[in-house]
Amino acid sequence: MLWLIIGLVLVAAVVLYLGFAQPTSDDRVQRRRETLLQDKDSGAKVRSVVSEELSASFSERILQPVIDVIATRLASAAPEGMIETARNKLAAAGYPLGLTEPVFLLLRGGAALAGAAASYTVFLTLADAAPLMRMAITLFVLIAIAMGPDYFVSGRMKARQTIIRRSLPDLLDLLVVCTEAGMGLDGALAEVVRRKEGPLVDEFNRTLVEVRLGKRRSDAWQDMSGRVQVRELATLVAALYQAQTMGVSIARALRTHSDAMRSQRSIRIKEQGAILSTKMLFPMILCIFPALFVVILGPGAIQIMRTLGGGLGGG
């Protein structure tokens, strides 16, 4: 009964919202008129617009615009700090699945409602269980469902940052080669974008486009560092900014930073190798040693039991 009431309330709210949010016929006519005025061939334009709209799928024509409108309206009521946090998190994750800030906030709200409903259902289902167990399972279901979108985006963000951190030394070496060959920084970036692929290359391409559109190079690099949120890249941006300010050669600054990153990478690999034995200790104790004990001591234990059993029976 509770699920039915919640469903009816949500459906009624969506229908009312869509009724108020849809544009009027005058707005649609004015929008079509402005579209037609942009091209001299009105008949061809009408046919192309109509055919393009009809060729799209149902989700693209109906569901996606409705979701975008609802998410935008709901996100406008959210605090600015929450929107900024969601924007930074999605930018660091590379906007997985095409998520935008309004859609992400809408997913978080929907996940919270779904988690509350699911936890309430679990709480009623476990009426005969122990109170502590009942409360623990209910809280686990609530947190797991409500924090699902955040966990997903955080996982994608960490995976993307790992890829960027691993690919940065190789791309930096290519930048060093290009700048030492006589290219400028923008030309070296364009060469890296043309030859390589990956998340960091996409960020370089975006930075290069922003610079070409008139944005200051230092601001574009700072924005890229803020989006990616990788310490090694932030250090590179700081080194480039210092070289540009002090008049140092960009190629020399990139070469010095590349050598430093190689040394840091080697040190990090050695650290991981040093702690590997400690990490392997617990699996060996819990999984490997019991099996070895069974294989090595098992036959002897069976023989001792048979001997003692035979001796006791003969006595």
185 and 265 assigned to the same domain:
yes
User: The domain containing residue 82 runs over which residues?
Assistant: 51-146
In a domain, 280, yes or no: no
Instruction: Tell me what pLDDT residue 258 has.
Output: 81
Note whether 161 and 92 are within 8 A (CB). Answer: yes
In a domain, 13, yes or no: no
Instruction: Tell me what pLDDT residue 42 has.
Output: 43
In a domain, 107, yes or no: yes
Please indicate, yes or no, whether the overall pTM of this predicted structure exceeds 0.75: no
Domain finish residue from 146, 172, 202: 146
Q: What is the count of structural domains for the chain? A: 2
**Rounded distance, CA 188 to CA 304, Å?**
76
In a domain, 246, yes or no: yes
CA 156 to chain CA mean position, Å: 3
**Which among 178, 209, 182, 213 has a CA at the least distance from the CA of 192?**
178
Q: Kindly write down the DSSP assignment for every residue of 2-44, as one continuous string.
A: HHHHHHHHHHHHHHHHHHHHSPPHHHHHHHHHHHHHT-S-HHH
pLDDT tens readout for residues 28-84: 555 555 555 554 444 444 445 455 555 666 566 666 666 666 666 665 666 667 778
Domain finish residue from 256, 272, 288: 272
In a domain, 22, yes or no: no
Mean pLDDT of the chain: 76
167 and 262 assigned to the same domain:
yes
136 and 206 assigned to the same domain:
no
